Copies of this chain bind each other. A is one copy, B any other.
């Protein structure tokens, strides 16, 4: 039915989805959906209808399904046989699970660091600066993004492809948890400072000290998030 009317802006979307290549269409669709999920535009529990998305995105069902599979393996969607894909509803157990693995990986990476120099720490420096800048502007969304980048770059220092991938999945799921729990953005505030402190320790080569600080840091973060979540549950009941 929508044939001649919406051709205008739909062409635009279709073009956006189909152009700027060097990756497959499915990957571009996935990227588009990933932003929506992480941003919290789609509430947890939402079912993503194939029919509906095929219509809007102007891609075939097969391509869309491939995008679904990509996001499913990132933990950003869950797939139930014959029922479709849904935005996952993370609970407190998931949060504990995520932080458990996160502490394991991040602390271990930091503890084993050696041969650090200014060049290698540059990406970390940039992320911290971006966080501080966002905090000054009061843009807590950007501060959150900068924080994720900081941690991704932190583990990147290990130079391990598989650690990078695992961490990327972890952080993506964590962002989903953030928006799902509707945690007040101001909660990010103290971590801008703590990231700077962490970086200073690394510049000084105090890796053991940094690892310990990071462990406490992550425990604190987890505790705050759990508190926020329980708070939210209390309100809604």
Q: Which residues of A contact B (CB under 8 A)?
A: 23-24, 62, 65-66, 69-70, 73, 81, 97-98, 100-101, 104-105, 108-109, 158, 160-163, 166, 170
Q: A108-B108, A166-B166 are in contact. Are A101 and B66 (CB under 8 A)?
A: no
4 further A-B contacts with Cβ under 8 Å, apart from A24-B81, A101-B163, are: A100-B163, A101-B160, A101-B166, A166-B166
Question: Is the pair B66, A160 in contact by a Cβ cutoff of 8 Å?
Answer: no
Which B residue sits closest to A24, measured CB to CB? B81
| Cβ 8 A contact of A162, one of B97, B160, B162 | B97
**Min CB–CB distance A125 → chain B (angstroms):** 25
Which B residue sits closest to A74, measured CB to CB? B73
Interface of A is mostly: helix
Q: Which residues of B contact A69 (CB under 8 A)?
A: 66, 69-70, 73
Q: Which residues of B contact A162 (CB under 8 A)?
A: 97-98, 100-101, 170
| Cβ 8 A contact of A62, one of B62, B108, B109 | B62
Q: Which residues of B contact A104 (CB under 8 A)?
A: 104-105, 108-109, 163
Q: Closest 8 interchain pairs by CB?
A: A73-B73, A104-B108, A97-B160, A101-B162, A69-B69, A97-B162, A100-B160, A62-B62
A108 to B108, CA, bound (A): 9
Q: Which residues of B contact A170 (CB under 8 A)?
A: 162
Q: Which residues of B contact A100 (CB under 8 A)?
A: 158, 160, 162-163
A101 to B112, CA, bound (A): 12
User: Taking each of A69, A98, A109, which has the highest tally of chain B beta carbons within 10 Å of its own beta carbon?
Assistant: A69
A162 to B99, CA, bound (A): 10
A163 to B158, CA, bound (A): 19
A166 to B165, CA, bound (A): 10
**Min CB–CB distance A75 → chain B (angstroms):** 8
A128 to B166, CA, bound (A): 29
A70 to B100, CA, bound (A): 25
**Min CB–CB distance A15 → chain B (angstroms):** 21
